[in-house]
Structure 1
Amino acid sequence: MNKMLKAFGIVLGMSAALAGVAQAAPTEVRIGVALEPPMLDPTAGAAEAIDIVVYQNIFEGLTRIDQNGEVQPGLAESWTISDDGLTYTFKLHDGVTFHDGTSFDAEDVKFTFDRILGENSVNAHKEFYTPITAITVVDPLTVSMTLDHVVGRFLFDLGRGDAVIVAPESADNNANEPIGTGPFAFVQWDKGSRVVLEAYGPYWGAPVHLTKATYVFISDTATVTNALLAGDIDGTNNFAAEALAVFEGNPQFKVLVGTTEGETILATNNRKAPFDNLKVRQAMAHAIDRKAIIDGATYGYGTPIGAPFAPHNPYYVDLTDTYSYDPAAAKALLAEAGYPDGFAATLKLPPVAYARLSGQIIASQFAEIGIKLNLINVEWAQWLEDVYSNKDFDLTIVSHVEPFDIGNYANPDYYFGYDNKQFQALIETLNGTIDEAKRKELAIEAQTILAKDAVNGYLFELAQTGVWNAKLTGMWQNSPIEGLVLRDIAWTE
C-alpha cells in the first residue's frame, strides 16, 4: 500500500513538474518575412532581405544603429575623434569571438575595411567608406581610421550592414554560411523555406532572451494571415496594411504601427517647364490633400511628411503646414505663373500599390485646379531607365528608402534636377560637421529650404506594420535602418 502511495506521489510530482514546464514562457520565435535573401552576406549585396536576417543578429559593426536611428557603441566600446575630425580611434571590446571560435581583434577590422575598399570589392555602398585613407592597427584592441575629409555621419555609416566586421578565415563563405560576432549564430538555410539561427552561448554582450529564431519566407498575404492565426509563425515585421483589420482588436495579437525610411514623394522634374517655376510647384503643393492620399493608398497607416526625412529621425522637423491643402491658393498661384487654365502633364507610376493608388488620387486632386495628368504605368526596369537614368518624365511617385539621403538634393544631376547653390553649400557644411547639435540645426535648415522650394510633393512615410503574438515584447516599432533585430525580443508569461 505504501509503495502504491509513494508511486502515486511520484506521478503527481512529475505531473506538476511537467505542468510547470508547459506553463514556462517559450524561448523560440518563428518570424514570417516576405522575401528570401539572395545571400546572407550584407557586405556583398544590397538587398534589404539580407539585413532583415543578419543585421545585429549574426553580424555586428564597430557601431550600431538603435531603434531611434541613433548611433550606439557596437564592437567598439568607445572612440575618440581628433581635433581636425579626420582621425577616429576605436577601443574594441575584449573577449569577443566569431561563431567559429576564432578571436576578434583590430586585425579583423583592418581586414574588413581593406576588403570593402579593395579593387575587387562588391560592397553595395563602397562610396560611404572611400574617404578612409589609412587603417592602422595600434594594438590588438585599438584601431584608428584616417579620412581625407571630414564626414559628419561617419559613425552612422559604420553602423550600417555594409560595414559589419568579418573575419579573413570565413569571409569568403559568408554568402551561404555566415559567421559573425553577433548574439545569434547561423544554423541552417533551407532554400525557399527558412533560415534558422540559435543564440550564441559565448556572446560577448548582454545575454539575449531567445534560444532560437526561425525566419520563414512567406510572400503571400493570405498565407501569412493563416500562418499567424494558426500559430505556425509568431509574428511578422511588415504585414499588408489592407489586411490588418483581421488582427486589430484580437487579444491574441499586437499590431505595431511605426515608420520606415521610405519617404514617399511626388517626384518632380525641376529642370523642365513648367516645373522649373516655383509658383507652379507651390500650386501643386497646395493641391495635395495628404490625408486623402494616406487613407486611400495606405489604408490610413502612412505618416504625413513635409520634407524628405523620416518622422522617427532625431533631426526630423514637421513641415507639413508649409503649404497646407488649399485649392483656391493653388489656382491663384497657377494664374500668377501664367497658367490660369492649368496644363497637362504625365505621371509615370512604378508597379507598387502605394504609387499607383496615390497617382489616381493625386490626378483627381490636381484636376480640381486644372492640371490634367496622364497616368502611365511602367515596370521597374522601364522606370529606372526612363525616370531615374534618362530623366524622361514630368512627375512620378516613389519611396526613397535610403537612410539620411537628403544629400541627393545637392546633386543637380540627380533625377529630379534640383539645382540650388545655397542648399549645396549647406549640405557640404552638414557633411563636414561632427557636432550633433550643430548637425541637427543644419539638417532642419536643409529640410526647411526643400519644403519652401516645394522641390517635390512630400506625401507620407511608408509605415512599418508589424503583427505579433501578444505575449512577445521587444520588437522595433520603427525601422530606421534595414533589419529585424532580435536582441530584445522576449516572451512574457
Structure 2
Amino acid sequence: MGNALKAIGLALALSTTLVAAAMAQPTEVRIGVALEPPILDPTAGAAEAIDIVVYQNIFEGLTRIDENGAVQPDLAKSWTISDDNLTYTFQLQDGVTFHDGTSFDAEDVKFTFDRILSPNSTNAHKEFYEPISSVTVIDPLTVEFKLSKPVGMFLFDLGRGDAVIVAPESADNNATDPIGTGPFSFVQWDKGSRVVLEAYGPYWGEPIHLTKATYVFISDTATMTNALLAGDIDGTNNFAAEALGVFEGNPAFNILVGTTEGETLLSTNNKKAPFTDLRVRQAMAHAIDRKAIIDGATYGYGVPIGSHFAPHNPYYVDLTNTYPFDLDAARKLLAEAGFPDGFSATLKLPPLAYARLSGQIIASDFAKIGIKLELINVEWAQWLDDVYTKKDFDLTIISHVEPFDIGNYANPDYYFGYDNPVFQAVIEKLNGTTDDAQRKELAIEAQTILAKDAVNGYLFELPQTGVWNSKLTGMWKNSPIEGLVLRDIRWTE
C-alpha cells in the first residue's frame, strides 16, 4: 500500500512538473531587422545597424540614454561637474566585468577615450569627444575628464554608441567578436543571416528577463511579414508602414507607433556641379511634394520637416514653408542657373522601403521640371562605401537617425560636402553653451541657415512602427537614439 501511494505521488509530481514546464513562459526572443551591420563595434562605424544589435545590450557607456531621450547613469553611477563646466569627475560602478571575465575599472575608461581620440581612430564621430583635453585615473573607481571648452551635450554624448567602454584586451577584435560589459554577451554571427546573443550571468546591473536574443536579418517586407505571421520571428522594431494593415486588428500582434530621430533627406552632394549652385538646390526644394512623399512612402505616418531637426525636440522650428511645393518657381530657378531644359543626375537608393518609394515619387516630380533622375538601387554595404565613405554620388535618400546630429553640417568633409563658415560658427557656439534658452536660440538659427541654403531636400521625420507578438512587453515605442534595447523585454501570460 505504501509503495503504491509513493508511486501515485511520484506520478503526480512528474505530471505537475511537465505541466509547469509546458506552461512556462519562453525566455528567448527572435527579432527581425532590415539591415545587417557591417561590423559589431559601434566605436568604429557609423551605421545604425550596429547600434541596433549592440547598444546597451553588449556594450555600455558611462551614461546611457533612456526611451525618453534623458541621460541616465550607467557604468558611471554618479558624477560631479566643476563650476566652470570644464571638469567632470565620475564615480564608477564596482564589481563590473567584461564578458571575457576581465575586470572593468577607470583604466578601461581612459583607454576607451584615448583610443577614440588617437590619430588613427576610426570612430565615426570623433568630433564629439575632441574637446576632451585629458582623462585622468584618480583611483580604480574614479576618473576625471577635463575639457578644453564647455560642451552642453557632454553627458549625452557619453551615452552614445560611439562612446561605449571597451577593454584593451579585446578592443581590436570587437568588429567581429564584440566583448562589452552589458547584460548580453555575443555568441555568434552567421553572416547574411543572424546574430545571436545570450544573457551574461555575472552582469552587474538589474536582472534581465531574457536568456537569449537572436537578430534575424530580413530586408524584404514580404519576407518579414511572412516570418511574423509564421512565428519565425517574434517582432520587429520598425516594420514597413505599407504592410501594417496585415497586422491591424490581429490579437496576436501589437503595433507600436512612435517617433524616431530619423530626419529623412534627399541628401545632396554639395561639392558636385550643378548642386554647387544654390539656385539648383532651391529649385529641387520647390519640386519636393512632402505630402505626396509622406503618403506614398510612410502611408501618412511621417511628419514633414523643413530642416535637419526632429519635430519632437523642444528646439524645433517649423521651416517647411521655406520653399513650398511650386513647380513654376522651380523651373524659373533652374533657368536662372543656366538649366532651362533641366539636367540629368543619379539617385542612389539603399535597400529601405521608404527610400525607394520616396525616390520614385521625387523622380516623377523632378521630371516635370526637367531634372531626369536615374534611380540606382544599391545594397547597404555598397551605399556605405559609395555614398558615405567615397562620396561618389549625386543624390541619395536616407534617414539620419542620430540624435541632435545637426552638427554634422559643420564638418566640410562629411558626405554632404557642405562648407559654410557662418553655420560652423553657430554650431561651435551652440556646442559650448550650457544655458538652455541660449541653446534653443542657436539651434533655431542653425536650422534656419540649413533651410535657406537648401543644403538637402528635407522630407520627413521617420516614424518608428514596430510589430510585436502581443505577449511581449518592454519594447521601446520611441527611438530617441539608435538601438534596440533588450533589457526590459519579457514574455507575459
Partner of 1:51: 51
Query: In the alignment, residue 227 of structure 2 is paired with which amino acid?
Result: A
TM-score (norm 1): 0.84
More off after superposition, 250-259 vs 440-449: 440-449
Q: Report if aligned partners of 1:259, 1:464 keep a CA contact under 8 Å in 2.
A: yes
**CA displacement, residues 118-155 of structure 1 (integer Å, 9 cap, x when unaligned):** 34434333343333221101112111122333333232
- 1:192 Cα deviation after fit: 4.5
8 Å contact kept, 1:345–1:372: yes
For 1:40, the equivalent position in structure 2 comes to 40
- In percent, how many aligned pairs have the same letter? 76
1:283 CA drift (Å): 6.5
Cα distance in 1, alignment partners of residues 384 and 116 from structure 2: 30
Q: Distance in 1 between matches of 2:287 and 2:104?
A: 56
The one-letter amino acid of 2:182's match is G
d(CA) in 1 for partners of 2:386, 2:220: 29
Note if contact 2:283-2:334 (Cα within 8 Å) is conserved in structure 1.
no
How far did residue 290 of structure 1 move? 1.4
Provide closer, same or farther for how the CA distance between residues 237 and 336 of structure 1 changes in structure 2, counting only shifts above 3 A: closer
Q: Could you say what secondary structure the match of 2:22 adopts?
A: helix
CA 113–390 in structure 1, closer or farther in 2 if over 3 Å, else same: closer
| Distance (whole Å) between structure 1 residues aligned to residue 91 and residue 475 of structure 2 | 29
Question: Match for residue 467 of structure 1?
Answer: 467
1:473 Cα deviation after fit = 1.4
> Does residue 1:349 correspond to 2:318, yes or no?
no
Secondary structure of the equivalent of 2:42? Answer: coil
Paired letter, 2:404: F
| The 10-residue stretch of structure 1 (384-393 or 63-72) with the greater mean CA deviation from structure 2 | 384-393
Tell me: CA distance 1:355–1:34, structure 2 relative to 1, closer, same or farther (3 Å). Answer: closer
Contact 2:282 2:333 in 1 (8 A): no
**TM superposition shift of 1:159:** 1.6
Moved more, 106-115 or 440-449: 440-449
Show structure 2 runs of 5+ residues with no match. none
Amino acid at match of 2:251: P
**SS of the residue 1:350 aligns to:** strand
Deviation, structure 1 residue 293: 1.0
Q: 1:20 and 1:124 mapped to 2: Cα distance?
A: 49
1:228, CA displacement in angstroms? 1.7
What's the counterpart of residue 185 of structure 2? 185
Cα distance in 1 for partners of 2:469, 2:267 equals 38
Map 1:278-293 onto structure 2 (within 5 A).
285=285, 287-293=287-293
Which secondary structure state, in structure 2, belongs to the residue aligned with residue 362 of structure 1?
helix
Structure 2: distance between partners of 1:55 and 1:342? 49
Q: Deviations along 1:211-251, whole A, 9 cap, x unmatched?
A: 22122333443433332222222112233333333222221
Deviation at 1:85, TM superposition (A): 2.9
Q: CA RMSD in A?
A: 3.7
Deviation at 1:474, TM superposition (A): 1.5
Cα 1:490–1:24 change in 2 (3 A) is: same
2:307 alignment counterpart: 307
Mapped pair 1:242 → 2:242: yes
State the one-letter code of the partner of 2:69: G
- How far off its partner does 1:430 sit? 0.3
1:26 alignment counterpart:
26
- Aligned residue for 1:84, secondary structure, equals coil
Matched residue type, 2:346: K
Greater Cα shift, 168-177 or 292-301: 168-177
Shift of 1:408: 3.6
On the 8 A contact 1:88/1:146 being kept in 2, the answer is yes
**Over residues 48-94 of structure 1, what are the superposed CA-to-partner deviations in whole Å (9 max), with x where a residue is unaligned?**
33322211111101111222333222211222233333322212122
Paired residue for 1:372? 370
**Does the 8 Å CA contact 1:363/1:372 hold for their aligned counterparts?**
no
CA deviation map 1:324-379 (0-9, x unaligned): 55668x47x9489969x9652445311335445434423544566xx222112346
Distance 1:346 1:149, change over 3 A: farther
Q: For residues 102-181 of structure 1, what are the structure 2 equivalents within 5 Å?
A: 102-181=102-181
Q: Does structure 1 conserve the Cα–Cα contact (< 8 Å) formed by 2:137 and 2:144?
A: yes
- Partner of 2:445: helix, strand, or coil? helix
Deviation at 1:470, TM superposition (A): 0.9
Structure 2 match to 1:195:
195
Q: Deviations over 1:29-49 (max 9, x none)?
A: 111233444443323344433
Name the CA shift for 1:376/1:147 in 2 (closer, same or farther; >3 Å): same
Q: Which residue of 1 aligns with 2:101?
A: 101
